[in-house]
Amino acid sequence: MTRRPARGLAPQDVVASFDSATVLHAGLAAALRGRPFPHLGNGPLAGAAVRAAGRLPWPLLRRLYTRIGASEGVDPRRLAGVDMAAVAGWLADGYPARRYPAALVGASNGALVHLAAAMQVPWLPGTVLVPVARTGDPHRPVDALRFGERVAPPLLAANPDVVLHHMHDQIQDELMVARMTYFRLKWRALPEAYARFLARSLAPGAPVILLDDRSRWPVLRVGERHVFQAGAQGGQRPDDYLARPHTPRADGEAPEAEWGGDPNLAASLAEWCAAHGHPLLRLSYPGPQAPAHAVAALMREWYRRRGEPGERLLVPSFILGDPWRTITAAAVPFWTFFSVQPALHALDAHLQASDPYRAVDILLFQHGVTSAGIAHPDQWLAVARRHGAAARLLALDPRRFPHDIASLGRYGQALAALPPAQRPWSPLEVTAAMQGLRDAGLDGCRP
């Protein structure tokens, strides 16, 4: 059990349970224990409650969804009690205690988490989300900026090794940012808890793989370690956000709040690797969707080498997926960062570049609003069918899209029903995985 830090806030009470970093981390931790990951890691009662709530009329469910999400918001008066060192320890302690042939550190990425599950190696996130309670008009980012200016200084003073990327996306996160604001914190030095984990958990000479997402976004610099980002990766360009009313004007660029990697963390990790005799491998890529094709191609070849047909493509979406179920079904994962047009185009490009799949099973994360740039269920089905596959939506009632919240409670059952793999398997070797990424065109895979 994780101890409550001296400042009074336990790590699990600080970070969001619905964020890419925490959910992907928990899904990988389950896979390293050989366990499935239904209900985003919550128990069966929570899954049943979500399925029951999903039957409510949307106006009522919308209020419930927003209030449940907002309940995770940290009281801004308690931000001095956020202990990011304790958060790092909690994340590192989430993995089984054993020796690993490699470890991943850095940016969140669902495709690379599936690859980590295949290699049976851990991943330590470089960015986490601290949701902060706030009530306001989601379409006035300037008000969120002023709020952050007032409440962030105690948080930053208590945590000198992080940079605050205050993100406000009134398009995709419209429901949530009406009741909270998103403080995304990036470590700019390797946390001591991560260093201890690597030292005790890596096999001698095992590489550390830096996930180096080069995503950048226009920001307004608030302070030395504090920037404000209007909008986020999704269905709209940065200029689309900046042109909206009540949006602060940017005065520079920085790593994108959710996905982008902090170069200071990369430098700190390189120093640690050099001092401890572990090679550092860099996976550099231009955005969260970029690794998906290479990972899918690599894992399909891995399946085929052991006698699997590799004819089923599974399309996880954001945090909606299960690495263990995917591998034990010998399904090829093509992760999509959100149900938006750029991700849909990436799936189309993957299918165009690949041998035909017999079946394509599609998961779509629901964020509750018909936002600009969203990709609808019929569009996903049409793309897959255009390439000759039998396509279907898993765990989704398309009539309720984009607010079929009950899909969070159904996807585990849907994945459990996939046909199992035909052959036994052992973990994918790290060197073979890195070579496979290069062969599949991930140009940023290098020492």
Mean pLDDT of the chain: 94
In this prediction, residue 288 carries a pLDDT of 98
Residue 239 has pLDDT above 70, yes or no: yes
21, 26, 48: which is closest to 37 by C-alpha? 26
357, 351, 350, 344: which is closest to 312 by C-alpha? 357
Cα separation of the two ends of the chain: 37
In this prediction, residue 447 carries a pLDDT of 65
Q: Is the pTM of this model over 0.85?
A: yes
The whole-number average pLDDT for the span 222-247 is: 97
The whole-number average pLDDT for the span 429-443 is: 92
> pLDDT of 282-340, one tens digit each?
999 999 999 999 999 999 999 999 999 999 999 999 999 999 999 999 999 999 999 99
Separation between Cα atoms, residue 215 and residue 212, nearest integer Å? 9
SS (H, E, C) 63-94: HHHHHHHHCCCECHHHHHHCCHHHHHHHHHCC
The whole-number average pLDDT for the span 239-248 is: 97
In this prediction, residue 364 carries a pLDDT of 98
> pLDDT of 19-50, one tens digit each?
999 999 999 999 999 999 999 998 888 778 77
Separation between Cα atoms, residue 383 and residue 208, nearest integer Å? 37
- Tokens representing residue 212 in the block: 């180096």
Bridge-based pairing of strands 208-213 and 123-125 is unpaired
Residue 394 has pLDDT above 80, yes or no: yes
Contact 347, 303 (CB under 8 A): no
- At residue 445 the predicted structure's pLDDT band, cuts being 50, 70 and 90, is low
- Tokens representing residue 290 in the block: 């970029």
In this prediction, residue 1 carries a pLDDT of 42
In this prediction, residue 446 carries a pLDDT of 66
Separation between Cα atoms, residue 348 and residue 65, nearest integer Å? 32
Task: Give 184: exposed, middle or buried? Use CB within 10 Å, 0-12, 13-18, 19+.
Answer: buried
Using a pLDDT cut of 70, give the percent of the chain over it: 96
Residue 65 has pLDDT above 80, yes or no: no
What sign has the CA pseudo-torsion 266, 267, 273, 278? Answer: positive
Q: Domain spans of the chain?
A: 11-285, 292-442
Hey, how many other C-beta atoms are within 10 angstroms of the C-beta on 212? 21
In this prediction, residue 68 carries a pLDDT of 67
Structure-model confidence comparison of residues 72 and 284, the more confident one: 284
Contact 7, 79 (CB under 8 A): no
Under DSSP, the state recorded for 74 is B
In this prediction, residue 15 carries a pLDDT of 96
Which residues have a Cβ under 8 Å from the Cβ of 420 and sit 6 or more positions away?
328, 329, 330
Contact 314, 333 (CB under 8 A): yes
Residue 163 CA: distances (Å) to CA of 142, 153, 327, 331, 333: 20, 11, 36, 38, 32
Separation between Cα atoms, residue 162 and residue 143, nearest integer Å? 23
Residue 407 has pLDDT above 50, yes or no: yes
In this prediction, residue 69 carries a pLDDT of 67
- At residue 382 the predicted structure's pLDDT band, cuts being 50, 70 and 90, is very high
Residue 147 has pLDDT above 70, yes or no: yes
Cα 2 vs. chain centroid, distance in angstroms?
23
Residue 60 has pLDDT above 50, yes or no: yes
- Tokens representing residue 233 in the block: 């990766």
Separation between Cα atoms, residue 260 and residue 214, nearest integer Å? 6
Contact 155, 164 (CB under 8 A): yes
State the amino acid at position 350 in one-letter form: H
> pLDDT of 108-122, one tens digit each?
999 999 999 999 999
In this prediction, residue 9 carries a pLDDT of 92
DSSP 99-117: -BS-EEEES--HHHHHHHH
In this prediction, residue 70 carries a pLDDT of 67
- At residue 54 the predicted structure's pLDDT band, cuts being 50, 70 and 90, is confident
- Tokens representing residue 413 in the block: 């059952």
Separation between Cα atoms, residue 295 and residue 332, nearest integer Å? 9
> pLDDT of 349-381, one tens digit each?
999 999 999 999 999 998 888 999 999 999 999
The whole-number average pLDDT for the span 342-353 is: 98
Contact 209, 102 (CB under 8 A): yes
In this prediction, residue 7 carries a pLDDT of 56
Q: 166 by DSSP, 3-state: which? A: strand
Residue 8 has pLDDT above 80, yes or no: no
Separation between Cα atoms, residue 48 and residue 356, nearest integer Å? 37
